[in-house]
Amino acid sequence: MGNPCNDMADPRPHILVVGGTEYCLGSFDGKRVEYDFSKVLAYLDAKGRSLFGESFKIREGDKGTFLKLCSYMVKDIESCRKMEMDIGKGILLTGPVGCGKTSMMRLVRHLVPHKRNYEIIPSRNITFAFNHIGYKIIEDYGNGRFYCFDDLGVEPMGRYFGDDCNVMGEVLVSRHELFQRTKIPTHITTNLNAEELEERYGKRVRSRMRQMFNLISFDKDTKDKRI
C-alpha cells in the first residue's frame, strides 16, 4: 500500500492514537504518506478492540477485503487501479449475514480522521422515517452529505398516507443525480447479490448503481462472526 495523502494540516498524519498508544501507519515525507499495510492492520486491530470490545480481531480471511477498503480510504490510486477500483466512486460492500460488513465500514473510516467522512445510517431507519414524515426524507438523504447506507435490502416497503414507496430505491436515484452533479460518493453494505438487488430495486436503479459503486464482496462461504 502506498501513495498519496496530500493537503495535510496535521503535521503527523501517519500517526494515529488508540487508548494513549501511538500507531505509525507508514512514512511521511512532509507531503504524502506511504502506508504500510501491516502497520495499518495493527492500528485497525487495536481500534477495532476499542470500538467493538476485546473479542474483536482481524481474521486472516478478511485481510484481502481490508486491503481493498483501506486502499480506497487513503486514496491509493495505483493500488486501487490494480484492484480495478475507481476512487471517484463509492463502495458497495456485499456479503453474507454476520460477516462483518458494518463493522468494517465503521472501522476503516478512522484511517482518515483528517478527511470529511461518512455517516452510517441503517436503511430500515430511513424507511421508518419516511412512514412518519413522507417524501421529504428522500430529499433529505439525496442531499450533499456523505452517507453509508447499512443493510440495504432488509428494509420494508415504505408507506405514507396510503401510498407505497420503494424508499431506498428512490434515495439511490437521488444519490445518483447528486453523484453526477457533484461526484459526492455514497457507500452501501448489503447481504444481497447483484441479481437480488435488481429484483428488489429494479433495472433503472441497478444500472445507476453500476455507475456509482465499486463492488467489494466477501466470499459467500464466509462464516457468521456473531455465532
pLDDT digits (tens, 9 = 90+) for 110-129: 999 888 889 999 999 999 99
Checking if the pLDDT of 103 tops 90, the result is yes
Lowest-pLDDT range of 4-13, 136-145, 193-202, 211-220: 4-13
CB 22 within 8 A of CB 49: no
Residue-level pLDDT at 219: 73
Q: pTM surpassing 0.85? A: yes
Checking if the pLDDT of 48 tops 80, the result is yes
C-alpha cell read off for 157: 416497503
pLDDT band at 11 (very low <50, low <70, confident <90, very high): confident
Neighbour-count burial of 166, counting CB atoms closer than 10 A to its CB (0-12 exposed, 13-18 middle, 19+ buried): middle
Residue-level pLDDT at 225: 66
Are residues 100 and 33 part of one domain? no
Residue-level pLDDT at 8: 47
The residue that leads in pLDDT, 98 or 105, is: 105
C-alpha cell read off for 56: 474483536
| Alpha helices, H only, the chain | 37-52, 63-73, 77-82, 101-108, 123-133, 136-141, 167-182, 194-201, 203-212
C-alpha cell read off for 129: 422515517
pLDDT band at 30 (very low <50, low <70, confident <90, very high): confident
In degrees and rounded to multiples of 5, residue 151 shows phi and psi of: 60, 45
Are residues 122 and 27 part of one domain? no
Are residues 46 and 132 part of one domain? no
Quote the CA–CA distance of 133 and 183 in Å, as a whole number.
28
Checking if the pLDDT of 29 tops 80, the result is yes
Range(s) of the domain holding residue 210 = 89-227
Boundary residue ending a domain (60, 87, 114): 87
pLDDT digits (tens, 9 = 90+) for 129-146: 999 999 999 999 999 899
Are residues 115 and 202 part of one domain? yes
Neighbour-count burial of 128, counting CB atoms closer than 10 A to its CB (0-12 exposed, 13-18 middle, 19+ buried): middle
In total, how many domains does the chain have?
2
